[in-house]
Amino acid sequence: MRPLTELLNKSEPGWKIVSEWIKEATNKVQILSKDEKEAELALYNTQVTTRSSMGAIIYETGGILVDNGWVRILGAGNKKINRSLPDWNKGKSITEFGQQAPYLLVADDVIGGFFAINGGEFGEDVGQMYYFAPDCLEWEAMDMGYSDFVWWAFTGDLEQFYEGLRWDSWKEEVENLDGNQGIAFYPFLWTEYNNINELDRKTIPIDEIWNLQLDFKKRI
């Protein structure tokens, strides 16, 4: 484990670039405040430098809410997202900090979609982003790296990406949630249905959605 002093890059800080992306964002972006000690711990446990966009987001933010909170990019943790990036991965992709992760969860959305960097679990394209789609319970290649993913979240056509998965009152409902929660549907999104507006919705912890979907994926 490299010490914190080796992870803090003050000559070429990645946050400078991320800040420019925030200014150019076409989707609504909310930067959550950080706790200094928690940010240092999260950066140390992730073992990335602040020269990278990931390290910059972990060290400079408690997390980022995009598009009224529909997408949550993990940082050092905050009341609105009470899980840092490394803490969220512990017990899922890793058992101890400092391990080489087969995949690294870096963001998720309110309907139980999860974004991860491939560490070898999904194929040879290590370093590329994958999306765990809640409507099919499969990891899908996004053909982009982490930095491109952040830029896409800030400026991409999320309406098109989530076509058919947004109900009429989603903005109002999502704005009242925090990043620790998600929307569970019944019948489930991976079953057959005609219109998402007709499904029953319930707010539950995002951790429950993760476990539920992995359990169903194993069964299927």
Query: What are 181-203's pLDDT values in tens digits?
Result: 999 999 999 999 999 999 999 99
- Reported as a single tens digit per residue, the pLDDT across 146-182 is 999 999 999 999 999 999 999 999 999 999 999 999 9
For all residues of the chain together, what is the average pLDDT?
97
- Reported as a single tens digit per residue, the pLDDT across 83-122 is 999 999 999 999 999 999 999 999 999 999 999 999 999 9
205 contacts: CB under 8 Å, gap ≥ 6: 180, 181, 182
Which pLDDT value is given to residue 192? 93
- Are the CB atoms for 140 and 122 separated by under 8 Å? no
Which pLDDT value is given to residue 169? 96
Which pLDDT value is given to residue 163? 97
CA–CA distance, 46 with 54 (Å, rounded to integer): 10
Q: Categorize the per-residue pLDDT at 204 as very low, low, confident or very high, splitting at 50, 70 and 90.
A: very high
Is a pLDDT exceeding 90 seen at residue 216? Answer: yes
Domain limits, the chain: 4-219
According to CATH, what is the number of the domain 4-219? Answer: 3.40.1580.10
Q: Indicate the Cα dihedral angle 219, 212, 112, 142, nearest 10°.
A: -40
Which pLDDT value is given to residue 171? 96
Is a pLDDT exceeding 90 seen at residue 60? Answer: yes
- Reported as a single tens digit per residue, the pLDDT across 24-54 is 999 999 999 999 999 999 999 999 999 999 9
Structure tokens at 205: 């912890």
Q: Categorize the per-residue pLDDT at 220 as very low, low, confident or very high, splitting at 50, 70 and 90.
A: confident
Q: Give pairs for 165-174: CB < 8 Å, separation 24+.
A: 165/111, 165/134, 165/135, 165/189, 165/196, 166/196, 167/196, 167/197, 167/199, 167/201, 168/197, 170/70, 171/68, 173/201, 174/68, 174/69, 174/70, 174/110
